[in-house]
Amino acid sequence: MSLFNIRFNAVIRRFILADLIWLAGWGLLAPIFAIFVIQQIPGATVITVGIAAAIYWILKSLIQIPVAVAIDRTPSERDDYLTLVVSLMLAGFTSFSYILVHTVWQLYLVEVLHAISFALYIPSWNGIFTRHLDPDHRALEFALDSGAVGIATGIAGLLGSIMVQEYGFTSIFFITAILSFVAAIIIFHSPSIVFPRHDPRIKDIARGDHTPRNLER
């Protein structure tokens, strides 16, 4: 079957789009973050960049585990959905915060916010996305998300370096924040997709058993 003939359900389409926009925004920062730290923050060194990276990766890795445990305790997707929206809004706020960073300690504080936003995003996005995968195209849908995000991030990395050279670091942080908020808006307007309406005459069932056919109605 041709890829162009496959019909993907609404949740998968919406979540891939949000993931692409959000991670493309943060992809703008990837190639220039270390340069920003060293050039724009007084007293910052290469070690400062390493400490900032360690704060982000260690905290994100630790926090996302209890977040995932909390999300898994309920069959409803409401907690996943709300956590996801909060994570995207916090990510936008975090990006704006980089504009206000003038000391090393302020940078470390923003990296804590950065870690929390991603720690909330990863289990909540994956939780909803996984439950709505088409049984016949699970690998393909994961590959499409990874491929779309990878291409967008690669392009964003190039554009980010060009924009910094032409317009400065503030433009990158501003655009990254805007794209985070755009992704949040896409998810925020998806509750009827994530929580399909049920006929009140039919006994409600656990949300973990959605089928793509029901979601396309």
How would residue 190 be classed by pLDDT, with cut points 50, 70 and 90? confident
* 21 HSE (CA, 13 A, CB side): 20
Query: Mind spelling out the 3-state secondary structure of 123-183?
Result: HHHHHHHHHCCCCCCHHHHHHHHHHHHHHHHHHHHHHHHHHHHHHCHHHHHHHHHHHHHHH
Task: Write down the pTM of the prediction.
Answer: 0.83
Q: Is the pLDDT of residue 131 over 90?
A: no
What is the SS3 assignment for 3? Answer: helix
pLDDT digits (tens, 9 = 90+) for 78-128: 888 899 999 999 999 999 999 999 999 999 999 999 999 999 999 999 988
Amino acid at 84: L
Q: Is the pLDDT of residue 180 over 50?
A: yes
Q: Are 31 and 160 in contact (CB under 8 A)?
A: yes
pLDDT average, residue stretch 37-54: 95
Q: In the chain, what are the domains?
A: 8-194 (1.20.1250.20)
How would residue 197 be classed by pLDDT, with cut points 50, 70 and 90? low
pLDDT average, residue stretch 135-150: 88
